[in-house]
Amino acid sequence: MTSTDAYAALMSHFREIAALGQAAMVLGWDQETTMPERGVTQRAEQLGVLEGISHQKLTDPRIGDWLAVIDRAALDPVQAKNVTEAEHRHHRATRIPARLAEETARLSAHAQGIWADARARSDFAAYAPTLSQMVALKREAGQALRDADESAYDALIQDYEPGMSERELSRIFGDLRPALADLRARIADSPVKAPPLKGPFAKEAQIALSRELATAFGYDWSAGRLDFAVHPFSSGNNGDVRITTRVTEEEPFGCLYSTIHEVGHAVYSQNLDPALMFQPAGEDAGMGVHESQSRSFENQIGRSRAFAEYLFPKMRDAFGDFGAADPEALYLQLNAVETGFIRTEADEVHYNLHVMMRFDLERALISGDLDVADLEAAWNDRFTADFGVTPPDARRGVLQDVHWAHGLFGYFPTYSLGNIYAGELVATLRQDIPDLDSQVAGGNMSHFVGWMKEKIHHPSRRYMPRDLIERAVGHAPSSAPLVAYLERKFTDLYDL
């Protein structure tokens, strides 16, 4: 077999693995949106079987044979990335027993419904046994995947933010936390208050406006659709990228900004290089980069003063008098800083504090320093210490996020990494597009999205996450632009 033949065989093999993964994503989307309640047992089996087949393919010994034959010096950069990624995934998969991979997939499918039911009833005790099983499986996976100089949590992080470590995250968050706490304290002393909303806000009107905003931000409806989920998410890539949102008639921003957030994810996924579809190099760079898109769409642009000018007349048309007299009042409503219990509804000042709390709790779960039986109490104690209030029930506390039900340990830190990356990207973008605010105020988001497509979307997974951001902004990323952005924005808004 020649090097060319070996590379072709490797890519054909990983094309099948990618297709299986995409099929599993569609089944997962269906489970959270339209699947009948009694379908969960069948769905768990379906996903378990798919995961088992994928694991068999990833551990196929022929992968090692092909890698040994390939002449890496003769590869172009994309081919080299494909080979490096294939080797990395094969190496990780061979460390995970097939039984563990299938068990985790099946439990995740079951856990989704158990979590949703427990959340609806605010009953952590009903969910705790399932979560205990998932934590045990992820501890086992972390131990199997870790290198000698890594923690189990380090190993799990690699699925979401390649190249990141628990130690580095602790340093980044340790630098960011004091600045956020100080800004939060100063805002709390400000007499400035956002005007109250006047509802109700009809579901149909919210959805219609959400669809209009998604279109404005470049979402391709021929490659996607909008549905409802308990916990909004985006799923898919390239020509099939689906988004979800949720609606409450008392408050419209949850629906509108969940949609914009998921559109940020979706537009990234739709704009991945189509020439690399089904190849390892054609996937996204990592969840921190993914979150940088959703957070820049939702916050840096979507909660800007310029966007409030664009949104105000649309809010008036959709809802009549909704409580804001002018765009400036809407701008304050969109950026009201209030201590709340729900991460997905948190303002920009509080949001990263929510994430840092989850980071500390989940790594304690994986290390064994915290048992699931003690998680609810630990959550409430930490929340009280960080936010000054105690969650009134589990639904607004430890049960609010679905991530741990799905075994996504190591995912939460990428939300704050996304904010940090977004701070870097939008600061550079504003230098490159000096009239960005006037464009946004006029409803033209095309140059903003086009810049992101060129710098972030189209490169796909050609580069490691931090390398991709560094190429886009010209220097190693730090939290400084995010802190400067928050200071500037909220000092102005709250007359600090």
DSSP 239-290: TEEEEEE--BTTBSHHHHHHHHHHHHHHHHHHTS-GGGTTSGGGS-S-HHHH
Residue 235's SS3 state is strand
Is 291 annotated to bind ligand? yes
Whether 57 is in a domain gets the answer yes
Pair 314, 413 in one domain? yes
Is 376 annotated to bind ligand? no
Pair 328, 273 in one domain? yes
The single-letter code of the amino acid at 248 is T
- The CATH number assigned to the domain holding 341 equals 1.10.1370.30
Whether 394 is in a domain gets the answer yes
Pair 320, 378 in one domain? yes
Tens digits of residue pLDDT in 346-383: 999 999 999 999 999 999 999 999 999 999 999 999 99
Tens digits of residue pLDDT in 292-336: 999 999 999 999 999 999 999 999 999 999 999 999 999 999 999
Last residue of a domain, one of 87, 115, 145: 145
pLDDT-derived band at 472 (thresholds 50, 70, 90) equals: very high
Residue 321's SS3 state is coil
Residues 6+ apart with CB under 8 A from 327: 305, 308, 309, 311, 312
Per-residue pLDDT, 23: 96
pLDDT-derived band at 345 (thresholds 50, 70, 90) equals: confident
Pair 78, 203 in one domain? no
> Across-strand partners of 243?
226, 234
Domain that holds residue 104: 3-145
Per-residue pLDDT, 230: 84
Pair 285, 320 in one domain? yes
Whether 435 is in a domain gets the answer yes
Pair 63, 185 in one domain? no
Whether 161 is in a domain gets the answer no
Distance of CA 244 to CAs 228, 262, 303, Å?
5, 7, 20
Predicted TM-score of the model (pTM): 0.93
Phi and psi, residue 385, nearest 5°: -65, -40
Pair 126, 185 in one domain? no
- The domain tally of the chain equals 2
Is 457 annotated to bind ligand? no
Pair 185, 114 in one domain? no
Tens digits of residue pLDDT in 31-47: 999 999 899 999 999 99
Catalytic residue annotation: 262
Pair 135, 179 in one domain? no
Token duo for residue 397:
């506390």
Pair 213, 244 in one domain? yes
Pair 140, 106 in one domain? yes
pLDDT-derived band at 231 (thresholds 50, 70, 90) equals: confident
Pair 216, 180 in one domain? yes
